[in-house]
Every structure is written in C-alpha cells, then in structure tokens.
Structure 1
C-alpha cells in the first residue's frame, strides 16, 4: 500500500526495471501535469530513463491503462491531465523463464 501524496502532488509508482533505474518504488511529483509531458518530466529527473525504460513501458493512471502521447502531440480536445492525488504506475515489460 502506498501513502497518500502531499498536497498538490500525485504519486508515481515504479515497477521492475523502472524502480531499479530510479532507485525508488514511489515518488511524489507536482500536479497537475499533462500526460503528454510525463515522459519528458521523468527524463529530466533521470537522464536516459526514457530510452532505457519508458519507451517500452505501460502506464496506468488510477489503475486504468493509458497511451502516453508524444511531447509534440497536438493539443487534443480531451487531453488527459494527471491530477492531485492520482496514482500513476510505470510498468516495464517483464519476462519469465
């Protein structure tokens, strides 16, 4: 169970290689944040994270899978914005043997 993020923030959960790369399981980031800016924001914090992990990962917001549009994506009428109190998960591919 994760703790509630501080006021004005959302939690981001890092699973598998995402947690290994960031050395964190959970982190609070300022909200609101347009979903299309999520990967660029994380890349600023963790250089090389996008190519190593994010570009191959699934993303959920409040347990619902979402497609992350590119930073240069045209403004959409119903753009998703990550809000205060939301829970975002970064789920890299995992393999089993």
Structure 2
C-alpha cells in the first residue's frame, strides 16, 4: 500500500498521542482534515482550525485546496511528508 508520512507537533501530537504516522496515498489535500477527523474525532475543532499545514517544504492552505480554475486540486502523493504545525509564538 502506498503511503505518505504525517508529522504532528505540539498540541497536535498531544491530542492523538503520536508524533508521526503513515496514511494511505494518494489523498486529495482538501480531504486531509476530513480523514484526520474520522480517525480522531474532535481534532478539527480542537486542533486543526488553528494549525498550519506543510507538504514537503511548502506551507499549503487546506481550505483553498479545491483546485485552480481548471479544477485540479493538490493531491498528497506516496512518499510525501506532511506536517501539522500549531501556531508558534515568541517573546
């Protein structure tokens, strides 16, 4: 089975008690939060709504992942590295 790695940081990691896991690929980016919500009920409201997401070295906007005017949305591919990154503050 083809998979991608998803890494969880800070509150995201604490919420699911994992730092990383493999999920089936390919996965349309606009389905990522639905997939995580089905695995970890409540994560969307309690964690994901305030988190950033990166695929590889690029931050992505999951809410705008439905695609461009040609209708081609971003797809997380096998071997990709995805990170769920909570807000960071500094003082």
TM-score (norm 2): 0.88
The question of whether the paired residues in 2 share the 8 Å contact of 1:57 and 1:92 is answered with yes
Structure 1 unaligned runs (5+)? 1-6
Instruction: Please list the CA deviations of residues 37-69 of structure 1 after superposition, one character each: whole Å capped at 9, or x if unmatched.
Output: 000000000010000110100000002000002
* Structure 2 counterpart of 1:63, from 42, 53, 57: 57
Instruction: Pick the structure with more helix per residue.
Output: 2
RMSD in angstroms over aligned alpha carbons? 1.8
- 1:1-97 matches, cutoff 5 A: 7-69=1-63, 76=68, 77-96=71-90
Provide the aligned length of Structure 1 versus Structure 2.
89
TM-score (norm 1): 0.83
Structure 2 unaligned runs (5+)? none
